[in-house]
Amino acid sequence: MRESLILKELKDSGDYLSLDYFSKKFEVSTRTIRNDMKIIAIDEKCNGFKIEYKSKLGYILQIEDEMRFERYLKSLSPVPLDSPEQRLNSITALLLLKDDYTTIEQLSQEFLVSTSLIKNDLKRLSQKLKDTNLELERKAHYGIKIIGPIKYKQKILSEIASKDNRKLEEFYSKFISDKKMENIKTTEENILVKYKLEANFVELEELKLQLVLLYIKASLRRNNEEKEITQLKVSYNDIIIEHIIREVFSELQFFITDEEKDYLSDFIKRKTKNKESEINSAQKDKLQELIYNFFEEVDKGYNTYFLEDKEFFNLLYLHIASLIERVRREQNLKNPFSRQISHQYPTVFNLAIQLSKRLEKEYGIKINQHEIGFIATHIAVPFEKRQGENFKQKYKIGIVCSSGGGSAYLIKLRLQEIFPNAEVQNFSLLDKDKIVNFSPDLIFSITDLSFEVHAPVILIKEILDDLDYLKIKESVRYVDDFGKVTNPKQYFLSLFSKKHFTCITQKSEYKGILDTMAQKVVEDGACAPSYPKDVWERESFLNTIYTNGVTIPHPIEMTGNKNLISVGLVQTDIEYEERKPKIIFMVSLIKGNLELHKLVTKHLSIIMEDESVVNRLRESQSYEEFMHKLKNSLGG
């Protein structure tokens, strides 16, 4: 009860606390607090404490026996305080799980707040339910309850469950034991095997949640001693539901409504697919041709090798064939990793968007951001595999040190670990002709060369440690994009320009800010005129406002004439889709720079993971101050 919270407040304060203080703290009337104090006073003498009251000052705690008081405090049930939003979600969950009416007084006692606050919460709840096909029904002398189709009730319950709601956790603890959760999980797996169905991890988790919520509802009905709901319908069409109810609900099977069974049946149909269902030959050829033509263009435009990976092509085809069927059946999957994929693999996510647009046009469907994320996951696999294979290619590598002797030999041994198939040869700084005649694909040198050579040059130290070798591997990944480089970090920093730096101090619409920044890039001749439109089109699929407000907008397809990062420091309060951008890094690259886009994202990820760094950068008042802080945040 609330008594434990009152005693803790008095103990921590060590001073007088007024009635108004407690009233505001716990969102109840002063009369309720007085009643709580009377209850506490009954136990005070025998539990080592005393509460004194003085008018105009309030209450103060006097502890006479520390050990007895602490023992008493621990014996009281702790009652966590909910925020108004958490309480509203808890009230909603409670009303959705119960069939019968609940009075305002019961809710007041349940959540330990005044009836006036409960009435305000119910007004907010009525407003929230307006666009959900549900409504709050009030019945004189009975109370309130939420009425409407079960699929909308389950949808809201699922959303509340995703926010770690305390009231739902109480029901979990009361009705869902570890053994019951294992039973639900095992039943799911058995159903998939027995009835030749397929579902991914996200779909299985969603089905498990639905079963848990329905089990809690059935348990509440039985606890309230409601009469049996219905006799179990058994027909061929319900055979899967019969299996579930027999295995999961067993003793509760007559406390499940027909509406709930029908809902569960429909849910399983939408969230699973039959392994034995076949796409007809003509449709199969059409879809495979669409996917093949798309990646043929990608391989030509980006110098990639997607079509060489037959396993990738087949798996992606099977996934998209299933996706088309899901969308047609209005089966909405959730992908918790879409934003993470968008962030870590921006170019891959863009390719997924482009492919989705072709599928939408061809099949007259609408593919959401979750499905785009699943497609991107498939595309990322050969993309990553190819990067690993690059180090296995047969390179000719030249190492240029002061003498070409001992230190160069040590470097050679380590580089042969990184490039097992490379031909590595050492040279001194004076071996100009030998280096040219060797015709290396790649050169590692301790200094800039004084002569022209047709190969990228990566500068290194003469004595290298393990960290240096990691940096070498990183540098090699970006050689084809950069040409002659010292290191990727320096190249990253060179992408910023004072001309494309701005501090945003006036409150504006997010889209307007992006349009203004993008238009400056167009006016500078750095990209195609469609750049502003292309940036917003990409943002519309899934916004790029990531951790701690670091924002990385870019077009679906790069059309730049040069590589550039524009910066906007958002020094005012702006919100878009419940996210608040703090620093905007708008990216414009020359088409085909897949690795460069990944490098940009990598360095920006380092920044976004540290909120203090983001805030320091955001507070910069000039381009010079910003670049100084940015360089330091990246370690030099």
CATH of the domain at 607: 3.40.930.10
pLDDT at 479: 53
Q: Distance (Å, rounded) from C-alpha 386 to C-alpha 50?
A: 73
pLDDT at residue 55, as a whole number: 85
CB atoms within 10 A of CB 136: 18
Q: Is there a single domain that holds both residue 112 and residue 189?
A: no
**Same domain (yes/no): 628, 494:** yes
Q: Is the pLDDT of residue 44 over 70?
A: yes
617 vs 582: CA distance, rounded Å = 9
**Tally of domains within the chain:** 6
Q: Are 123 and 69 contained in the same domain? A: no
pLDDT for 116 beyond 90 = no
Examine the pLDDT at 619 and tell me if it is beyond 90.
yes
Give the model's confidence band at 405: pLDDT under 50 very low, under 70 low, under 90 confident, else very high: low
Write the CATH number for 345: 1.10.1790
**CATH number of the CATH domain containing 402:** 3.40.50
Asked whether 37 and 51 are in contact (CB, 8 A), the reply is yes
* 625 and 498 in a common domain: yes
Handedness of CA 575, 579, 582, 584 (dihedral sign): negative
The span from the CA of 561 to the CA of 384, in Å, is 27
Domain identity same for 90 and 199: no
Q: Please report the DSSP string for 185-253 in residue order.
A: HHHHHHHHHHTTEE--HHHHHHHHHHHHHHHHHHHHHHHTTPPP--PPP--GGGHHHHHHIIIIIGGGG
Residue with tokens 């997924």: 352
pLDDT at 476: 62
- The pLDDT-based confidence of 186 (bands split at 50, 70, 90) is very high
Q: Tokens at residue 530, please? A: 């469609």
What was the pLDDT predicted at 471? Answer: 63
Confidence of residue 483 (pLDDT cuts 50, 70, 90): very low
CA distance 383 to 391: 14
In a domain, 627, yes or no: yes
Report the mean per-residue pLDDT for the chain. Answer: 85
With a CB cutoff of 8 Å and minimum separation 6, the contacts of 342 are 349, 373, 376, 542, 544
Residue 199's pLDDT is what?
Answer: 81
DSSP string over 263-289? HHHHHHHHH-EETT----HHHHHHHHH
Comparing 39-48, 118-127, 454-463, 490-499, the range with the smallest average pLDDT is 454-463
pLDDT at 232 over 60: no
pLDDT tens readout for residues 349-376:
999 999 999 999 999 999 999 999 999 9
Q: How much is the pLDDT for 102?
A: 93
The pLDDT of residue 146 is above 80? yes
- What is the pTM assigned to this prediction? 0.60
**Averaged pLDDT for residues 1-24:** 85
Please tell me the predicted confidence (pLDDT) of residue 484: 44
For 141-169, what is the mean pLDDT?
91
What's residue 235's pLDDT?
42
For residue 247, what are the domain limits? 176-274
Whole-number Cα distances in Å, 496 to 448, 505, 566, 574, 631: 24, 21, 7, 24, 11
Percent of the chain past pLDDT 90, that is, above it, reads 42
Are residue 594 and residue 526 in the same domain, yes or no?
A: yes
Which of the listed residues 75, 99, 130 is the one where a domain comes to its end?
75
- Alpha helices by DSSP H, 499-587: 510-523, 531-541
Please list, residue by residue across 322-336, b when 16 or more beta carbons sit within 10 angstroms of its beta carbon and e when fewer do: bbbebbeeebebebe
